[in-house]
Structure 1
Amino acid sequence: MIRFENVAKKYEHGSYAVKPLNMEIQASELFVIIGPSGSGKTTTLKMINRLVPMTEGKILIENQNILEYDINELRWNIGYVLQDIALFPHMTIEENIAIVPELKNWEKARIQHRITELLDMVGLDPDEYRNRKPHQLSGGEQQRVGVIRALAGDPKIILMDEPFSALDPISRTKLQDDILKLYSNIQKTIVFVTHDMNEALKLATRICVMKDGEVQQIGTPEEILNQPANDFVKTFVGTPKRVSNPIVELDPIIQLTDTSKDLNPEFALSKSCDLKTIVDRLAYTDELPVENNGEIIGTINRASFYKLMSKRLNESEEV
C-alpha cells in the first residue's frame, strides 16, 4: 500500500532528520510509528502526504510515486488528524466535516448523509452536534470530530500525528477504544504516530520503533515485547505490566430476560466471563445479554456489575 524506498530527509546543513529508510505499510493495517522526541517519526509521517518534502528516495502509494499525484488529489485521499485538532472555530461541526466532500464536489444529499453517518459512528447525536461550534464541545468531543473529518471524504489512508497526547487520561483511553472500534469497522490503512509505548501496544497491528532518524525495529506488538532487536528497543519498551484478567461469575447479577427487548446475541457475555471482556463491552452500552450454551438467559447492566466489583474489592477478593 505505502512503500518507502531509500527515503530520507536531509537538512541544508547536512544532518538527517530521517536517514535512508526502506519499509512497507500494508493495506488495512494500523501501523504505529513510535520513538522519543527527535527520532524522525513525525517527519516520516508528513512525507507521506508531502507536507514535508523528501530529499532522497521515493514513496509509492499503490505502486505510484507520490510525486506523480496532483498534490490536491493526494491530500484529499489521505485523511489527516493533528494533535491540536485544528477545527475551524467559525464553522459549525457540520461545516468542518463537509470540507473535503465539498472539495470533491459531492452532492449535498450525499454530504449530509455522510455527516450523519460519521457522527453516529463516534456516538455524537447528529441532531445535537451538527450545528454546534467547536468551542461548545469538550476536548474529547472535538478530537472525535477531528477524526471523522479525516474520514469524511472516504480516503484510503488516515495519518494520525499524536492525536490524543493533549487529552486527559480518561478521554485518551476512550478515544483509543474508539479508534480500535472504528478501525474494525472501516478497515482503512492508518499510520499513527505516538511517543507512548502503551498506546502503541494497544492500537498497533505492527509497530515501527525509531531513534535518531533510523528504524530500530518493525514488528507486531508481541515481537517488539518479546524479541526486542537491540538494547534501545528493550529499554524503550520497558517491562510491561502484567494485568490480572480473572473470570467473573455473573450469576449474582443476571436479570431475567425481557423477551420484548432487542438483544444483540453478537455482544452476549458468557455467564462465566473474563473481566476485560465485560469491561470493554460495558464501555459502549449500559446493558448486555448473557448466554449459557448459546441461549440468552438474561442481562446484566453496568450499575449492577460495578456494585458486584465493589463488593468483591471490599471483601479483599481478587478481581
Structure 2
Amino acid sequence: MQETKGEQWFRTVNAMFLSLVSLSMLLPFIHVLAKALSHDRYVLAKEVTLWPKGFQTGAFEFVLNNKQFLISFGNSIFITVVGTAISILITMFTAYPLSRKIMPHRRAIMFLYVLTMFFSGGLIPTYLVVKGLSLTNSLWSLILPVALAPFNLILLKNFFSSVPDDMEESAKMDGASNLRILFTIYAPLSMAAIATISMFYAVGYWNSFFQALMYITDRNLIPLQVYLMQIITDQMGMDLANAESMMNTAAESVRAATIIAAVVPILLIYPFVQKYFVKGVMLGAVKG
C-alpha cells in the first residue's frame, strides 16, 4: 500500500527528530572521549570539543594500571555476573508457578509482588535488615536485597503464561519434573524475555551506587561506580596528583578516561541482546 504525502512527511520529520535526539545523547560521550585522549595543555585550556588535540593515551594507561580501579572493576564484574545469574534464576523460579492456573492464590501472591513496586520498607528498616543479616561490607549486600525486580517478574510471568498447557501436560506424562519442564520447555521458548530481563538486571547491577554507599565502607569492596564518583568529586586527589606528575596527564583527562572505562563494558553487552530487546518487552507486556 503506497504511503500518502502526509505519511511520508511524518516519517521524514520523525526520522530527523529522532536523529537529533540520538545525536544529543551521543555528543557528551564523544566530548568526554576526546578529553581522555587529548594532551593536558589543551584540556586545561578547555580547547577540546569533539576531537582530541595532542593525541595521547596517558590517561587510559594510568586508569588501567591503577590498583584501586582494577579492584573496583573486578568488584563490579562479580556483582554484575553473579547478581544477574542469581536474579534470573530467582525470577524464573517465581514466574513459573505464578504463570500456572493450578497455582492456588496466585493472583494474591502476584499482588504482593506488584505492591513492592510502589511501596518499600524504607531506607532505615532496609539497612537494619541488611546489617542484621551481617551483609554490610560484603558484595552480597549489593546482590541479595535486589535479587528480584517485580517489573521483570511481570514480564517473564506473562511470557510463561503464553506457553500452551498441552506442552506441559505432555512432558508430565513422560515423567518430566517441574524443574525439567522449566529448563527444557519454558526457558528455551522464552529466550527473548530472559535476554531482555538479563539486560535490565545487568545494567542495574553494573550501575549499583546508592546501596554501595550505604552498605560498603571497605575501600577494597567498593564497586566501579563509587570509585567513579570519588574520582569525579576529587576525593582521590592524591591519586590524581600522582597521575599528573608521573604521566604529564591532566586530572580532567583521568576523570574522562575513568568515565569511558566504566561505560564501555556494559555498552558491549547490548549488541548481543538488542535483537531480543523489543520483542521481549512487547510480548511480555501484552500476553498474560
Bin of the TM-score, shorter chain as denominator length: under 0.3
Q: TM-score, normalised by structure 1?
A: 0.20
- Greater relative contact order (Cα < 8 A, sep 6+): 2
Larger Rg over CA atoms: 2
Q: TM-score, normalised by structure 2?
A: 0.22
Higher helix share: 2
